[in-house]
Amino acid sequence: MTSATVPLLDDDTIPFGEEDEMRDPGVAAKKYTHPYVTFFHLFFRGAAIAIYMFCGWFSESFITSFVFVVLFLSADFWTVKNISGRLLVGLRWWNYVDDDGKSHWVFESKNSRINKHEQRIFWLGLILCPVFWSLFFLVALFSLKFKWLLLVMIAIALNAANLYGYIKCSYGTGKDLNSAATDFVKTQLFKNAVDMMTKQSAAAPPPTNVRPTGVV
């Protein structure tokens, strides 16, 4: 969200916010509008966690495990930042340097049709994975595995960067991160409560009008 005029990204083959106009009308009726993007949004970060947890079963080399985890983390960072955030929730954050050499951070949000299933998966994956890496950080710290601690810190940095960027996109650049995170949690709780109430009311059978019969 920014009022300043910013240049288009070099890879903007489709201008930001016009993806819906290029979409096949028949796709909108499906449960998942972008199934492949949704899959890879979870695949790379899930693979990085799985390799970190089970790499000792296949190789005792720390270098091999380190390289594979960093590769999947890098692929996840690029995918979430440039593809899944834009298509699944209509958000994008990026940076550019102006002619004076000053760096500018841009947080954008578009008003478009967002698939609720994909939106829920996007935010769950974006929030839960940093929680897992934070737990791995505590385990590595208390077990004094400092070489693994470095790898976990890289994972936290990459995951937290995307989480921070998309929270800023969703709630505005002028808000403090703590207040933005609080608003996000409140919004998600409210949405879940409304969904539960809607499902319960839809599942409840309609009342039947039974007239008492008279006694002869």
Residue 143 falls within a domain, yes or no? yes
Q: How far apart are CA 76 and CA 82, in angstroms?
A: 10
Asked which of 52-66, 86-100, 141-155, 174-188 is least confident by mean pLDDT, the reply is 174-188
pLDDT over 70, % of the chain: 64
Residue 193 falls within a domain, yes or no? no
| AA identity, residue 110 | K
pLDDT at 214 over 80: no
Where in the sequence is the domain holding 47, given as residue range(s)? 22-188
More confident: 90 or 112:
90
Residue 161 falls within a domain, yes or no? yes
Residue 61 falls within a domain, yes or no? yes
Q: Please list the residues that pair with 92 across neighbouring strands.
A: 108
Number of domains in the chain: 1
Q: Is 161 exposed, middle or buried (0-12, 13-18, 19+ CB in 10 A)?
A: middle
Residue 63 falls within a domain, yes or no? yes
Confidence of residue 122 (pLDDT cuts 50, 70, 90): very high
Instruction: State which H helix or E strand residue 39 sits in.
Output: helix 35-58
Confidence of residue 96 (pLDDT cuts 50, 70, 90): confident
- pTM of model > 0.75: no
What pLDDT score does 76 carry?
96
Residue 164 falls within a domain, yes or no? yes
Residue 51 falls within a domain, yes or no? yes
Q: How far apart are CA 62 and CA 5, in angstroms?
A: 47
Residue 42 falls within a domain, yes or no? yes
Q: How far apart are CA 215 and CA 147, in angstroms?
A: 87
